[in-house]
């Protein structure tokens, strides 16, 4: 089944403890992206990647890191999480020439930073 898989689904952590949220897609998509969703603010893009080894900042990249070593994986890294990073996170992917036409989303990761 074609899908974008995020793990974990729920995560509770404490301030300053490094964490990684994984994202994997099995559709051979070039484009991958991370969004965070907060009440009243919609989805805001954190980082995106047009292809392997190519990443770029979105609207809210501060406090986050990403890597794209393989086409299928695009992990989101929080080196020192803070409470203001408590949010619902989504990974999305798309064919490289269609990233502006249709995104495929993962099921989300609900992160709470205490």
Which residues contact another protein by CB under 8 A? 4, 33, 35, 40-45, 48, 50, 56, 58-59, 88, 90, 92, 99-108, 110
69 or 102, CB closer to another protein? 102
Are 86 and 112 spatial neighbours (Cβ–Cβ below 8 Å)? yes
Half-sphere exposure of residue 70, counting CA atoms within 13 Å on the CB side? 10
- Residue nearer to another protein on the CB measure, 18 or 98: 98
Q: Which is nearer to another protein, 31 or 78 (CB)?
A: 31
**Least distance from another protein to the Cβ atom of residue 35, Å:** 8
Nearest-approach distance from CB 80 to another protein, in angstroms: 25
In the bound complex, what is the minimum distance in angstroms from residue 45's beta carbon to another protein? 5
Which of 50/52 has CB closer to another protein? 50
Shortest reach from residue 101's CB to another protein, in Å:
6
The residue ranges of DSSP E strands in the chain, in sequence order, are 4-7, 10-13, 19-25, 31-38, 42-51, 54-57, 65-66, 76-78, 87-94, 104-105, 109-113
β-pairing, 65-66 vs 54-57, is unpaired
């Amino acid at each position: 089944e074609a899908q974008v898989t995020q793990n974990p689904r729920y995560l509770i952590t404490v301030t300053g403890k490094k964490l990684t949220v994984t994202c994997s897609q099995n559709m051979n998509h070039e484009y991958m992206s991370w969004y965070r969703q907060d009440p009243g603010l919609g989805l805001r893009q954190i980082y995106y990647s047009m292809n392997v080894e190519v990443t770029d900042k979105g609207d809210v990249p501060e406090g986050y890191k990403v890597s794209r070593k393989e086409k299928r994986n695009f992990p989101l890294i929080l080196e020192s999480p803070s409470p203001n990073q408590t949010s619902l996170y989504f990974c999305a992917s798309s064919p490289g020439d269609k990233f502006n036409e249709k995104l495929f989303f993962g099921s989300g990761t609900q992160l709470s930073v205490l």
